[in-house]
């Protein structure tokens, strides 16, 4: 199959919760190792039988705890799907369903606990605009900095530099340090850089999306433009009308599992129904 753009292959992600296992200091970690080693030794010598933890049984009693397993929390469990190139996918699900974790795995910011992810080409991610902007640098320098961080080549940036600047409407201030910019100018410039990046796969998270309604509308417009160019786009949103309008296929995620996958209108209905059942 040559036209698969994204292959998510049995991906799971777990996080450790509680303070018992997280160490902020090397000395504590070393002390913790010694402690757990002595505890293990103690348990071995003690004749006490430890009760076997039965996940299924517990899940039956308390459905809310299916994702917890002792100290670990399964943000995603056995996520498996393929995306054909040129598809526009909408990811829907309630708060904490694991949507953002999935996007972070797809954009390689975090790695999966198990499973693997395959992506054809570069991934552009509109999780946040202006990543890495430095206040002391000028607008021009920040365009190059931000653009290369996102994954553009310097030549690509140079070629589209004038477009980026005029789209952001900051021509007069391009050689002024960004610390003198207004918030609006910074967001416009950051968005403009991200919007002129032309990755093979484009991911956009409206949930985390910064900025106001106008900004959200702008990013959705950008996503549509990418879709119409035949690129693969993935959208995460809480706003169902935009999913129905935008996506050619939707995936519903609940509690770290894929619940449904198919036509956006049906998936959105299903999601809204489940949502109202919960309340």
Partner 1 sequence: MPLPLNYYDSSGIWSWAKLVELWRFRELLYTFFSRDITIRYRQVLIGVAWVLIQPALSMLIFVSLFGLLETRATADGSQYASDAAVVFLGVWCWQFFASALRDGTGVLVNYRHVITKVYFPRILLPMSSVLCALFDFVVGGLILVPILWITNCTVVWSQIWAIPILVAWLVLLCVACVAWFSSLNAAYRDVGYALPFLLQIGMYLSPAVYDASRIPERWSTLYQANPMASIITWFRWSLLGGPAPSAIATLAAIGLTALLLISGLAWFERSERLMADRI
Q: How far is the CB of 36 from partner 1 (least distance, A)?
A: 17
Beta-bridge mates of residue 202: 124, 233
Find out whether 150 and 194 touch, Cβ atoms under 8 Å.
Answer: yes
Sign of torsion over alpha carbons 168, 173, 178, 180 = negative
Dig out the tokens for 213 from the structure: 């309604």
Q: Interhelix angle for 139-150 vs 154-168, to 10°?
A: 120
Which backbone phi and psi does 51 adopt, to 5 degrees? -65, 140
* SS3 label, residue 270: helix
Q: How far is the CB of 29 from partner 1 (least distance, A)?
A: 6
Strand order in the sheet with 123-126: 123-126, 201-205, 232-236, 88-92, 249-254, 257-262
Closer to partner 1 at the Cβ: 38 or 153?
153
Closer to partner 1 at the Cβ: 99 or 271?
99
Which backbone phi and psi does 179 adopt, to 5 degrees? -65, -20
Helix (H) / strand (E) element for 252: namely strand 249-254
User: Using CA atoms, how far apart are residues 18 and 247, in angstroms rounded to an integer?
Assistant: 38
User: Using CA atoms, how far apart are residues 38 and 260, in angstroms rounded to an integer?
Assistant: 47
Closer to partner 1 at the Cβ: 102 or 243?
102
Q: How far is the CB of 115 from partner 1 (least distance, A)?
A: 7
Please give the residue ranges that form the binding site for partner 1 (CB under 8 A): 2, 4, 7, 9, 15, 22-29, 104, 107-121, 123, 125, 127-128, 131-132, 134, 136-137, 141, 144-145, 148-151, 153-154, 200
Closer to partner 1 at the Cβ: 1 or 46?
1
Find out whether 233 and 202 touch, Cβ atoms under 8 Å.
Answer: yes
Q: How far is the CB of 106 from partner 1 (least distance, A)?
A: 10
Q: How far is the CB of 130 from partner 1 (least distance, A)?
A: 10
Closer to partner 1 at the Cβ: 90 or 112?
112
Q: How far is the CB of 111 from partner 1 (least distance, A)?
A: 4
Which backbone phi and psi does 191 adopt, to 5 degrees? -65, -40
Closer to partner 1 at the Cβ: 142 or 237?
142
* SS3 label, residue 16: strand
Closer to partner 1 at the Cβ: 26 or 52?
26
Q: How far is the CB of 243 from partner 1 (least distance, A)?
A: 23
């Amino acid at each position: 199959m040559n036209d698969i753009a994204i292959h998510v292959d049995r991906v799971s992600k777990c996080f450790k919760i509680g303070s018992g296992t997280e160490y902020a200091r090397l000395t504590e970690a070393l002390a913790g190792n010694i402690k757990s080693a002595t505890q293990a030794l103690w348990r071995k010598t003690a004749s006490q039988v430890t009760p076997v933890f039965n996940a299924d049984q517990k899940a039956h009693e308390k459905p809310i705890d299916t994702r917890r397993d002792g100290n670990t929390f399964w943000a995603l469990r056995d996520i498996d799907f393929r995306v054909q190139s040129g598809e526009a996918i909408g990811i829907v699900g309630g708060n904490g369903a694991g949507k953002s974790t999935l996007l972070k795995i797809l954009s390689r910011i975090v790695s999966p606990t198990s499973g693997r992810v395959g992506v054809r080409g570069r991934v552009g991610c509109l999780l946040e605009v202006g990543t890495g902007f430095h206040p002391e640098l000028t607008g021009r320098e920040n365009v190059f900095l931000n653009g290369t961080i996102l994954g553009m080549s310097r030549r690509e940036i140079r070629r589209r530099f004038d477009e980026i600047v005029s789209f952001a409407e900051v021509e007069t201030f391009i050689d002024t340090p960004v610390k003198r910019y207004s918030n609006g100018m910074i967001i416009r410039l950051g968005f403009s850089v991200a919007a002129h990046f032309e990755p093979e796969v484009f991911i956009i998270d409206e949930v985390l999306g910064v900025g106001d309604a106008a900004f959200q509308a702008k990013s959705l417009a950008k996503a549509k433009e990418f879709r119409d160019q035949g690129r693969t786009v993935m959208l995460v949103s809480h706003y169902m009308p935009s999913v129905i309008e935008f996506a050619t296929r939707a995936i519903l995620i609940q509690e770290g599992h894929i619940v449904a996958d198919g036509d956006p209108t049906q998936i959105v209905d299903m999601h809204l129904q489940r949502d109202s059942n919960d309340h």
